[in-house]
Structure 1
Amino acid sequence: MQAYIRNAERKWEPIFRNIMRFRDSNDTDGPPGFTILELRDYIKEVLKKKISDDEVKDMFLDLDVDRQNHVTQTVFVKEMSKLPRQEAFQHAFDMQDYNRDGYLGVDEIKVALDMVGVSEERAMKFFKQVDSNKDGTISRKEFMKMV
């Protein structure tokens, strides 16, 4: 896990610093992270992407998880590192969806968790927590909320 964190930091910290370069040099009292305007300028000027203000806003809101109107380096690295985890969880979901119906039933969860040494009791507790709509199955959306 430590290696994963170090790799994520090496990958995303330079991008964070590049975004921060769009801060007005006179703004010495700015927040300890980038703002929506700095993100917009980075995307448009460095990445040369045509992107609407609404798209920038959506992207920023996804990153600004603590709703401080700025994104710190720690939060940026953590949020940007979620994509590989999400892909791994999607793959795990597909691997356990034996009948390919797009849902995980209680038996599929029990088998999956038994393979990693989780008791049936804990597997049932997990299932009940993740099955948020209480329909007796875990949808991909419910499963991905764990990430």
Structure 2
Amino acid sequence: MACSEEKLTDIFQKAETSGDGVVTPVELKKLIQNEFGNDISNEDLVAMFCALDRNGDGVITLEEFLKEMSKKDRRTAFSEKFKELDKEGCGKLSKDVICQMLKEENFDDDQINEMFSHVDTNDDGVISREEFMAMV
């Protein structure tokens, strides 16, 4: 279940302890330890922080936090949709599967062909998980 913007703002405010309106790596680590009871390696902390600090200025603003945390929810939804469509479990979706899905959403053939060619970046005639997730 996705967190509401209010809940995400509350989480951000718990992390932002210095009163400057931004979250530093140290504050993020303390939040993870205090709120979730988990320790986090410095390597994982850096990866998480970099994913949230979209402009690379060394701090996370509320706007960055909300945008990226909402994006994570979209990524989860896309991942679940891919699994649902990949009935064979091969990690690829055929054009027929994509056509069927998009026709249910009232896309016409021209729109489907354009979308498929845009997403199938390696032109192999199927949509890989990576190509599908790149749409997020």
TM-score range, shorter chain: 0.7 to 0.9
Task: Give the direction of change, closer, same or farther, for the CA distance of 1:44–1:100 in structure 2 (3 Å limit).
Answer: closer
The one-letter amino acid paired with 1:71 is I
CA distance in 2, matches of 1:78, 1:146: 16
Whether 1:136 and 2:136 are equivalent positions in the alignment is no
- Corresponding residue number in structure 2 for 1:15: 11
Identity fraction in percent? 33
- Corresponding residue number in structure 2 for 1:36: 25
Farther-moved stretch of structure 1 (131-140 vs 12-21) = 131-140
CA distance in 2, matches of 1:50, 1:98: 37
Task: Give the direction of change, closer, same or farther, for the CA distance of 1:91–1:43 in structure 2 (3 Å limit).
Answer: closer
Whether 1:109 and 2:105 are equivalent positions in the alignment is no
Is the CA contact (8 Å cut-off) linking 1:20 and 1:38 kept in structure 2?
yes
CA distance in 2, matches of 1:120, 1:11: 41
Gaps of 5+ in 1: none
CA distance in 2, matches of 1:120, 1:98: 23
Q: How far does residue 89 in structure 1 lie from its aligned partner after superposition? A: 1.3
Task: Give the direction of change, closer, same or farther, for the CA distance of 1:54–1:99 in structure 2 (3 Å limit).
Answer: closer
Q: Tell me the SS of whatever aligns to 2:4.
A: helix
Is the CA contact (8 Å cut-off) linking 1:8 and 1:77 kept in structure 2?
no
The one-letter amino acid paired with 2:132 is F
Farther-moved stretch of structure 1 (34-43 vs 50-59) = 34-43
What is the root-mean-square deviation of aligned Cα atoms in Å? 2.1
Q: How many residues matched? A: 135
Q: How far does residue 14 in structure 1 lie from its aligned partner after superposition? A: 0.7
Q: How far does residue 98 in structure 1 lie from its aligned partner after superposition? A: 4.5
Task: Give the direction of change, closer, same or farther, for the CA distance of 1:107–1:63 in structure 2 (3 Å limit).
Answer: same
Q: How far does residue 123 in structure 1 lie from its aligned partner after superposition? A: 0.9
- Corresponding residue number in structure 2 for 1:119: 108
CA distance in 2, matches of 1:119, 1:75: 36
The one-letter amino acid paired with 2:45 is V
Gaps of 5+ in 2: none
Q: How far does residue 56 in structure 1 lie from its aligned partner after superposition? A: 0.7
